[in-house]
Amino acid sequence: MNKDIKQSALLTIELETRSLAGLKAYIDDDFVKTVELIHRSKGRVVITGIGKSAIVGQKIVATLNSTGTPALFMHAGDAIHGDLGMIQKDDVVIVISKSGESPEIKVLTPLIKNFGNTLIGMIGNRQSFLARESDHLLDTTVAQEACPNNLAPTSSTTAQMVMGDALAVCLMQLNEFSGKDFARYHPGGNLGKRLYLKVDDLYKQNERPAVYEETSLKDVIIEISKGRLGATAVVDKDNKLRAVITDGDVRRMLEETNDVSNIKARDIYNINPKKIASGLLAVEALELLKQFDISQLIVTDADGIYLGILHLHDLIREGII
């Protein structure tokens, strides 16, 4: 039984992989014209379909919207009962259908054409009604569904989603859609935080431990403990960063020294502290922490003035890690 289940799963993956490989042949002039048409359009992309194709359409709409191409979904069944009012004159309409012969599609297609909108057919049958009526075709024909009966939409819906992704990525590039743009559309969740959360948003919540070069060992330890960041900055009278002392530095000194009565901060500090500028992204801080295998970074401004300490726990708390 276990063997049969694994074989069935592997066959499904194999069949869908073949279908995706076959899509390469369909990235043709019609695909290019569709991308250019949408890029030039002053309207939105309206995507419609019925059944499983409708579900795929909703996913493609979500991808387009999140990558800078305004889009909306219109269910083909609802469209012929009033929702056609969603379509504006400059919109480009993409109709998704494997067969291209669904009754709702046959009713909807001429209505869209009558509005004067450009009609793009994402189809799995180039001889279909939808294919004949479309201004441009996005071919998602598959040789075989992964369904054992070759009936349930499996390979075909996978092909539709990938074609939609190809469309979205090409439009992203034409629109020069950057990481900052992506952050504007994804402000929520951990993904959003990775794109917009800055060092400034994190270190200000912490204590700001600081000592001078002549500070005694006792006071250094008190300052590190008070800050609960595992370190303290060493600054000059103008608050310019001079060095750092970590709890590890203190432990190593205690292991090597018997008489600690005259130990000052300058005797144990590290004059090459790992720093980060206040305006950088939190993910850049994470990369530095990983690179040097440390737990904290000293935050400074452009003039080297000490601002605070960013700790690994700050990134964990915000879900950056």
Pair type for strands 296-300 and 306-311: antiparallel
> What SS3 class is residue 234?
strand
> What SS3 class is residue 100?
coil
Q: Do 179 and 309 contact (CB within 8 A), yes or no?
A: no
Q: Which residues in 298-317 are b (16+ Cβ under 10 Å) and which e?
A: bbbeeeeebbbbbbbbbbee
Task: Name the CA dihedral angle for 33, 34, 35, 37, rounded to a multiple of 10 degrees.
Answer: 80
Handedness of CA 100, 102, 105, 106 (dihedral sign): positive
| Cα atoms in the Cβ-side hemisphere of radius 13 Å centred on 186 | 22
How far apart are the C-alpha atoms of 93 and 48, rounded to whole Å?
Answer: 8
Task: Determine if residue 136 is labeled as part of a ligand binding site.
Answer: no
How far apart are the C-alpha atoms of 169 and 185, rounded to whole Å?
Answer: 16
> What SS3 class is residue 267?
helix
How far apart are the C-alpha atoms of 32 and 7, rounded to whole Å?
Answer: 38
Strand segments, DSSP code E, in the chain are 45-49, 71-75, 92-97, 118-123, 136-139, 210-211, 231-235, 241-246, 275-277, 296-300, 306-311
* Residues contributing to the annotated binding site: 75
* Residues contributing to the annotated binding site for Zn(2+): 75
